Amino acid sequence: MDWTLLIYKTVFLVIILLVTLLVAMYSTYGERKVAAFMQDRRGPNRAGPFGLLQPLADGVKMFMKEEIIPLTANRILFILGPSIAMTTALLTGVVIPWGDTLTIAGREFPMQIADLNIGILYVFAMVSIGVYGIMIGGWASNNKYALLGSIRAASQMISYELAMGLSIVALIITTGSLSLHEIVDQQHGMNWNVFSQPLGFLIFLTCAFAETNRAPFDLPECETELIGGYHTEYSSMKLGFYLFAEYINMFISSAVIATLYFGGYNMPFIDQLGLSSNAVSLLGTFFFFLKIFGMIFLFMWIRWTLPRFRYDQLMNLGWKGLIPLAMFNIFATGVYYFFTELI
Amino acid sequence: MTFLEKIYLPAILKGMYITLKHFFSKKATINYPEQKREFSEVYRGQHVLKRDELGRERCTACGLCAVACPAEAITMISAERKPGEENLYREEKYAEVYEINMLRCIFCGDCEEACPKEAIFLTDRIVVSEYKRKPFIYGKDILVEPLDPAKRIDVSARQTENVLKFKEDNRYSHNK
């Protein structure tokens, strides 16, 4: 048993878990600030300097709220729902390469918890399980709004997962690998996939919005029609878990987008700087997080710009728009590689 | 819809451009307790019953303000000045009770226009909120300005040149 590696992985796992939670926490703050700024307001600025303690205050408030489980609800499933949503949201971070390898005392430590050779498929699997949290929670509430919300969530997930998967197929044709680490390594320098797969990126981005239930695809929880959708009956920290899971999902999908399309921890002109390999790795991680925050900002920017889609528009866009487009993208990519490799 | 409208993207980018412009624009909100919105020079807020230079109450309880008041917010009971109270009241008759119901008052300023004794003025102070209706009936304890010359309430903003000229004009003067 390699104890050093085991300890390192455990410590790294805990760090990633904490960072994920921290980023998700401050995403709620960021969301409110971005929303306020885009509406010419100031946003939270009372708790601490610039309102930086606001997430803490929100968390405390969530814990202090009364815990209500409706009498007609299925108790076990009612509790299981948010747990699944939270767990699956956190599990995805395992395969994401947060940085290059660190060399400490002659040993190499990769800044990735598990370099699965089917990394992308693992991400998809986790995202698909995530919808069970919403479905079970909505169904167990025994409330028609919650049920409608969860049905919407399920059908939306299925529709957009297809287009998402297809857009990834085209990417895999380009990279020739399913391992996220390898995909990032291939994008060294400015060789980012977004330039070779712009259409695939747009499709993936749109689907990522739908998968994370963010506006303009937030139909499962749309406040105006379904008074909260699947989490109508939830209160206290169980509601907090659902809301929090959404922000974790946003963080993770931003990380996945940055990994797949924006070169992960790669940055331009890094080879010319002449830094030691450890410094390059750490700087790469820093840049990776910059890219992630940029993506998170894009998520929020879109949310506070666009109105919600109508349900038939959502289905039209998914089935009649994105899936044929993704198919075309696969075809075009395939044809391109068929002919270039022939020569 | 044309092709460009169907693919949504140009419209989305246009919308994002607009929201980004607002992201960097000046905020409409002000940080209230630290920073207060500037009032107009002639803002009409909570009333004050002025004293004269010697600290005597100017009000003579003539009731013109109550008559002028369109909201009927002012009530008063007059009393006769006793010998020895000359340092308290300027005229021989004074207001024993003077009450303004701040829930009725519409802050029009007709009372100060009607006043022949330059006794009542509206100031830039805000009437504070309360939980009950009763505290909104302001008596003389709140309305009359403090005796201490340092704590006198400045109403010079309400006495612009036009107002002073108007008050001096014999045709409109009630003060003779």
| Closest residue, chain B, to A313 (C-alpha) | B6
pLDDT band for position B174 (cuts 50, 70, 90): low
Contact state of B31 with A42 under an 8 Å Cβ cutoff: yes
Domain range for A288 is 3-342
All residues of chain A having their beta carbon less than 8 Å from the beta carbon of residue B15 are: 305-306
Q: Is the pTM of this model over 0.80?
A: no
Is the CB of A306 inside 8 Å of chain B's CB atoms? yes
Is the Cβ of A315 closer than 8 Å to some Cβ of chain B? no
Question: Is B140 a residue whose pLDDT tops 70?
Answer: yes
**ipTM value:** 0.75
User: Which residue does chain B place closest to A298, by CA atoms?
Assistant: B16
Q: Which residue of B lies nearest to A299 if distances are taken between CA atoms? A: B16
d(CA A75, CA B129): 47
pLDDT at site B176: 44
* Chain A residues touching residue B26 (CB < 8 angstroms): 40
Among the partner-chain residues B9, B19, B29, the one whose CB lies closest to the CB of A304 is B19
Check CB contact under 8 Å for B12 and A304.
no
Contacts of B31 in chain A (CB under 8 A): 42, 45
Among A176-190, A282-296, A312-326, B34-48, name the one with the lowest average pLDDT.
A176-190
Number of domains forming the structure of chain A: 1
A86-133 pLDDT, tens digit each? 888 888 888 888 877 777 777 777 777 777 788 888 888 888 888 888
Beta-strand relationship, B47-49 and B74-80:
unpaired
CB atoms within 10 A of CB A227: 14
Q: Closest-CA residue in chain A for B25?
A: A40
How far is the alpha carbon of B10 from chain A, nearest alpha carbon, in Å?
A: 13
Q: Closest Cα of chain B to A92: distance in Å?
A: 30
Fold for the domain defined by B47-168: Alpha-Beta Plaits (3.30.70)
**Domain ranges within chain B, ordered by starting residue:** 47-168
